[in-house]
A and B are shown apart, each in its own frame.
Chain A
Amino acid sequence: MSTPRRLTAAAFVAAGILAAGCGSTAPAARLPGGAAAPSVPPPLATSLASADATWAVVVMGGSAAQHENFWQLFARPAGSGTWRLVTPPGTPDNGGLVLAGTAGQSLITGFRPSQDLTFSPLIATVDDGSNWSQSGVLDTGLADVPDALAAAPGTGRLLALLAGGAAELGGSGGTAWTTLATQRSLGASPAGRACGLGSLTAAAFSPAGVPTLAGACGRPGTAGIFAYAGGAWHAAGPALPSSLARQPVEVLRLTRTGTGIVALLAAGTGPAASMLAAWTGDGGSHWTLSPLLRLDGRRLLSASFGAGGAVAIVLNGSHGVTLAGPGSSWQPLPALPPGTATLALGPGGWFDALAVHVTKLTDWRLAPASRAWHDAQAINVPVQFGSSS
C-alpha cells in the first residue's frame, strides 16, 4: 500500500473510531475446558421479547436433510409461564424462520426459502400467533442469519437483509421494496472502506428508526456497524478495546431491544476467539461494552435477547452464559439440559432452556439463584416428515 493510501486508510480508521464514540470494557471472562474452533455465524435458533410475548424459534425434525427439518415458532404470552406452538400454517419453513418484533404488539415472521422456492413470504400476527396475515413478499430470499429482518418502531417500515448480500427497505405492509444498499455499495462507501467490509450479517432499526446494518470487517479491531442517515452510510460501531486491535471482528447479532440496540460481536479466530456484547441507546453514538468472553474454541449455537438488553447465549458443550444488561458481566449458567437449542429470558430473572429432541420440545426452567434446571413443560410437535420431499 502506498503512503498516501496508508494515510487515507488511517484517516478512515480514525474517523470510524471517532464516529463510534467511546466504550468501556473489563478483563476477559473464561469458560472452563474447550477445544479450538473458529467463530461461525449464529444459527437461526433464537428468542426475543416483545411487549406482549416472548418468542422462540428452534429447528425440529432432527434430520441432516434440510427438507426434513421443520422450524418451529413458540410463544409465551407476557404474564404466562407456558409456551405454545404458533408456527404459521400454510407455508413450508424448512429453510428457517426469521423474526422481527415491532414496537407494538405484532411480530413479523419471514420464511427463508428452501428447495425450489426462492422467495421469502412475510406474515404478521397481532395476537401472539393465534392468527396470521400475509405481509408481503421478498423476491430474493432472506439471508441465513437471525437478524435478516427488522421492523422500524412507529412506522413499521421493514429492513431485510437478502441472501445475495443486498439490504432492502420496504413499507409497513411488506410492499414497495427498494434496495438500500448492497454489500458492494456499502463496502465502497467511506465507512465500508474503513472497515474493509467482508459480508453483511445483520440488519436493525435504531430506536429512532434509522436503518442500521452490520457485518464482518476485514480491518482488525473494527466493529462493522453502519447507520444510514442523510442519504449516506456512517460508521456507527463501538470503539473496541485495544486487546482486540489485531483481531478480526464480526457482528454476529444486531437487535433492537426495548429502547436500544444490542450487538453481539465475535473477535478473533480459533482458540483465541472471544465474544462481547455492546449496547447503545442513541443509534451508535455511545456504546457500552461488556467484558470479553473467551470462547476457548467453543461454538455459538444460539443468542437470545431480553427486553432490557439482557443477553443469553448457548455454546456447544451444554454451556450457557448470560449478561443481565449494559454494565453487567458474563455469568455462566448451570450446565444446560441436553438438546438445548436456545435460551429465553423470563420475567423476574428466570431462564427457560428450550431443548429439542426430534419432535419434542422441553422447557427446562431455571429459577433465580437456583443451580438446577427443572422440567417445566413439554410440547409434542406434529412434525410432518416427508411433507416437503
Chain B
Amino acid sequence: MNSGLDLYDPVVVAAFKSVLVHQGLIALLIFVTLALAWVSIREWLPAARDGRAASSGAQGPAEPGWRQLLRIGFGLLWVFDGILQAQPAMAVGLPSKVIEPVAATSPGWVQHLVNWAGTTWSYHPMQAGASAVWIQVGIGIWLLVAPRGAWSRLAGLASVGWGLVVWVFGEAFGGIFAPGLTWLFGAPGGVLIYVAAGALIALPERAWRSPRLGRLILAGLGVFFAGMAVLQAWPGRGFWQGTLHGKAGTLTGMAQSMAATPQPRFLASWVAAFGSFNAAHGFAVNLFAVVVLAVLGGVFLTGQPRLIRPAVIATVVLCLADWVLIEDLGFLGGLGTDPNSMIPMALLVAAGYLALARVPAAVTQPAGDTAAAAAPDPGPAGHIRPGWRDRVRPAALRRSAAAASIQSVASLGAVGVIILGAAPMAAAQASPVADTILAQSIDGSSTPLNYPAPPFTLTSQHGTQVSLASLRGKVVLLTPLDDTCSVDCPLIAQEFRQAGQLLSGDSRRVELVAINNNPIDTQLAYIQAFDRQEGLASVPNWLYLTGSAAQLEQVYRRYGLPMEVLPAGAMIGHGDYAFVIDQAGHMRQELDFDPGPGTAATKSSFAAELADAAQQLLSSP
C-alpha cells in the first residue's frame, strides 16, 4: 500500500495544498450560492416564508441536553479530524504510516482488507487526502448546524456511515481482532464511538422523551467497561508487568513509544514520566485500571442516578488522564488523524448521564389537538400533505425553498461539501491507474522537445533488424534496459508493459522499444530471458533491441546515455531514461525515468505518464 514517496515530498505536498485550496474555494462558493438563493427566494415568495415562520412555533420538544452535547461535541470532533487530515504528510503518509501499522498485528484477512484500501489511497493520494478532509468537515458542519428534524437525523446517519468506513479501513476494526486490545490504548477504536453517537443522534424524537434511553446507554457502557476490565486483568498480555525480562511491559512500551512522538517537550516529559512510573509500578497501575473499570462497569449497570453521577465524573477524569498520559492527545506528530478515543468516550458517558437525569419535559398540547396529533401530519396551513409528484413541481420547490430554515440551507451546504470530497475520490477509485503526480514527484516533469531522434539499426529479440526509420508512422516509447540488471530495469520494463496495456486501443500505433544497455551481455538468449522474466515475450508491440558492443555503444553516444562497465561483480553503471519519439521520428520528450521505490502505485504512475505522452502525440494533428 506504500507509495514509497517521502512523506513531505514537496511536489505532492504542494499539489495537495493546491487541491485543498481549490476545493475549499468551491466549498465556500457552495455556501455563498445557497445563501444568496435562499435569501432571494424568500424575498420573492414572502407568503411561503411567513407561513413557515408561523408554523415553526408548533414544532416538537426542544432538543434535549444529551443530544445537544453529542451533536455539537461530535460535530466539532469531525471538523477537527477533517482539519487534521489536511496536514501536509497525510496524502502520502496515511497508508504506510498510519493504516498499515494499525493493521499489522491483525489477522491476515483484516490486513488484506485494509491493504486494499491503503493501496487505493496510495494510487490517488491527492483525491483521497482531500476527500477525507471535506467529508469529515462536511459531516461536522452538518451536525453543528442541524439541531433537529430530518436533516439532523440524516447528519447522525452520515456520521455512522463514514465512521464505519474509517473504523474498518482506517482503524482496522479498532484493533479488536489484534492481540493487546485494551481500553487504555483506545479499544474498540475511537471512531466506533463516533458511530455510536451518530446512531443516537439519528434516533427519532420519541426516543428522547424517556429516561429509558439514558439507562440503555449507561447499561451498554457498563457492559463495555466490565468487559474491558476482564480484558485488562487477563494474564499473559504484558499489562501486569512494568518491565518484562528487562524489556518494557505493554503499557510501559506504549508510553515510551508515544513519548517519542514529535510534540511539545512538556507533554513528552509527562508521558515519559508516566512510562517510568509504570515501569516501576506496573502491577499497581494495572490493578488500579482493572478495579476502576470494573467498578465503573458495575455502577453503570445499576442504573442508580446517585451512584452514576460520581461515576460519570470519575470516568471523565480517567478519560482525560488516559488521553494525556497514554494516548498522548492522539493527534500530534504530523500524522494524527483524530484525538483518539478518550474525548469521544467522555462525551458519550456524559451524554448517557444527561439522557438519564435530564429528560425533556413533555410538550403540553391543547385537548383538542390530541386527536390531531395522532392523525397524519396535515402539513403547514392545515392542508393535506401533497404527494411527491406535487412536491417536486417547480412552484412547490420554490415554496419549499422559501419556507426552509437557515439550518436546512446550511445542512444542504454541508452535504455539498461532503459530495465535494467524495465525488473526486469516487471518480479516481473507478480508475485502476495511479496519479501521474507520483512519477513527477520522483523524477520531475520533462521539457517539450522537437528534433530528429538519432537513428539506429539493431537486432530485435526475434533476430530481425530494426531501425528507427522502420518505425516511422508510430509513436515510439524508447528506453535503455540492461538485460541482466537486477534493480531498476525490471521495474522500468513493467512500467512499459503496463503502459502498453493502457494503450491497448492504440497499441498498433505505438511501439514500445528497449535498447540493451549492456555492451557485454548482448546475446539474444539474454534479452529473450529478460522478456520471459517480465512477461513481455507475448506483447506484440514490444521490441528489445541488441547488437554488438560497438553498435550499442554508438547508440549510447548518440542518445547521451551514460554507461560504465563496473568491475568486481557489479552490474553495468547506467542511467534510467525514457524517450518519446513522434510518428515523424522526432524526439518530443526525454523523461528521467528512475523508477523510485518500485511500488505498485509508482509503477502504475510511470506507466500512466508514458501512456499519456503517447496519447498526446496520437491525438495531435
Q: Which residues of A contact B (CB under 8 A)?
A: 60, 67, 70-72, 85, 87, 89-95, 97, 111, 113-119, 121, 134, 136-137, 139, 174-175, 381-384, 387-389
Task: Count contacts on B: residues with CB < 8 A to the other chain.
Answer: 29
Contacts of B520 in A (CB 8 A): 89-91
Contacts of A117 in B (CB 8 A): 484-486, 490, 533
B529 touches A137 (CB 8 A): yes
B484 touches A134 (CB 8 A): no
Name which residue of chain B comes closest to A96, CB basis.
B569
Contacts of B532 in A (CB 8 A): 119, 139
Asked if B9 CB lies within 8 Å of chain A CBs, one says no
Name which residue of chain A comes closest to B491, CB basis.
A116
Interface residues in B470-498 (C-beta closer than 8 Å to A): 484-487, 489-491
Contacts of B570 in A (CB 8 A): 70, 92, 383-384, 387-388
Interchain nearest-CB distance for B517 vs A (Å): 11
Asked if B79 CB lies within 8 Å of chain A CBs, one says no
B486 touches A115 (CB 8 A): yes
Q: List 29 A-B contacts (CB under 8 A).
A: A70-B569, A87-B567, A89-B566, A89-B567, A90-B519, A90-B521, A91-B521, A94-B569, A115-B487, A116-B489, A116-B491, A117-B533, A119-B529, A134-B523, A134-B526, A136-B525, A137-B526, A139-B533, A175-B525, A383-B568, A383-B569, A384-B566, A384-B567, A384-B570, A384-B573, A387-B570, A387-B571, A388-B570, A389-B487
Asked if B141 CB lies within 8 Å of chain A CBs, one says no
Selected contact of B486 from candidates A70, A85, A90, A92, CB within 8 Å: A92
Contacts of A175 in B (CB 8 A): 525
Contact flag A134-B525 (CB < 8 Å), given A92-B484, A388-B571: yes
Bound-complex Cα distance A383 to B566 (A): 9
Name the prevailing secondary structure of the B interface residues: loop
Bound-complex Cα distance A71 to B570 (A): 9
Of A72, A90, A97, A136, most B-chain CB atoms within 10 Å: A90
Bound-complex Cα distance A64 to B569 (A): 17
Of A93, A95, A117, A174, most B-chain CB atoms within 10 Å: A117
A70 touches B568 (CB 8 A): yes
A90 touches B484 (CB 8 A): yes
Name which residue of chain B comes closest to A120, CB basis.
B529
Contacts of B523 in A (CB 8 A): 134, 137
Contacts of A382 in B (CB 8 A): 567-568
The 4 closest A-B pairs by CB, nearest first: A90-B520, A384-B570, A92-B571, A116-B490
Interchain nearest-CB distance for A179 vs B (Å): 16
Contacts of A89 in B (CB 8 A): 520, 565-567
Q: Which residues of B contact A (CB under 8 A)?
A: 484-487, 489-491, 518-523, 525-526, 528-530, 532-533, 565-573
Selected contact of A388 from candidates B486, B526, B565, CB within 8 Å: B486
Interchain nearest-CB distance for A72 vs B (Å): 6
Interchain nearest-CB distance for B383 vs A (Å): 74
Additional 14 contacts, C-beta under 8 A, given A90-B571, A175-B525: A60-B568, A89-B520, A90-B520, A90-B572, A97-B569, A115-B486, A115-B487, A116-B486, A134-B523, A134-B525, A137-B525, A137-B526, A387-B573, A388-B486
Bound-complex Cα distance A111 to B570 (A): 12
Bound-complex Cα distance A291 to B518 (A): 50
Contact flag A119-B487 (CB < 8 Å), given A91-B521, A136-B525, A381-B568: no
Name which residue of chain A comes closest to B518, CB basis.
A90
Interchain nearest-CB distance for A59 vs B (Å): 9
Bound-complex Cα distance A335 to B529 (A): 46
Contacts of B530 in A (CB 8 A): 119
Bound-complex Cα distance A113 to B533 (A): 12
Bound-complex Cα distance A60 to B569 (A): 10
Contacts of B489 in A (CB 8 A): 116
Interchain nearest-CB distance for A164 vs B (Å): 14
Bound-complex Cα distance A85 to B570 (A): 14
Bound-complex Cα distance A117 to B532 (A): 11
Bound-complex Cα distance A114 to B487 (A): 9
Contacts of B487 in A (CB 8 A): 67, 115-116, 388-389
Name which residue of chain A comes closest to B571, CB basis.
A92
Contacts of B568 in A (CB 8 A): 60, 70, 72, 85, 87, 381-384
A121 touches B484 (CB 8 A): yes
A113 touches B486 (CB 8 A): yes
Bound-complex Cα distance A381 to B567 (A): 9
Contacts of B528 in A (CB 8 A): 137
Name which residue of chain A comes closest to B489, CB basis.
A116
Name which residue of chain B comes closest to A73, CB basis.
B569
Bound-complex Cα distance A381 to B566 (A): 12
Bound-complex Cα distance A383 to B571 (A): 11
Contacts of A71 in B (CB 8 A): 569
Contacts of B526 in A (CB 8 A): 121, 134, 137
Contacts of B571 in A (CB 8 A): 90-92, 387-388
A72 touches B486 (CB 8 A): no
Contacts of A136 in B (CB 8 A): 525
Bound-complex Cα distance A95 to B487 (A): 13
Contacts of A388 in B (CB 8 A): 486-487, 570-571
Of B526, B569, B570, most A-chain CB atoms within 10 Å: B569
Bound-complex Cα distance A60 to B533 (A): 28
Contacts of B567 in A (CB 8 A): 85, 87, 89, 382, 384
Interchain nearest-CB distance for B569 vs A (Å): 4
Bound-complex Cα distance A113 to B523 (A): 18
Name which residue of chain A comes closest to B572, CB basis.
A90
A119 touches B533 (CB 8 A): yes
Name which residue of chain A comes closest to B523, CB basis.
A134
Name which residue of chain B comes closest to A133, CB basis.
B523
Bound-complex Cα distance A145 to B520 (A): 26
Contacts of B519 in A (CB 8 A): 90
Bound-complex Cα distance A170 to B348 (A): 74
Bound-complex Cα distance A137 to B573 (A): 22
Interchain nearest-CB distance for A219 vs B (Å): 36
Bound-complex Cα distance A115 to B488 (A): 10
Contacts of A119 in B (CB 8 A): 529-530, 532-533
Bound-complex Cα distance A381 to B525 (A): 30
Contact flag A90-B533 (CB < 8 Å), given A115-B487, A116-B486: no
Bound-complex Cα distance A118 to B570 (A): 17
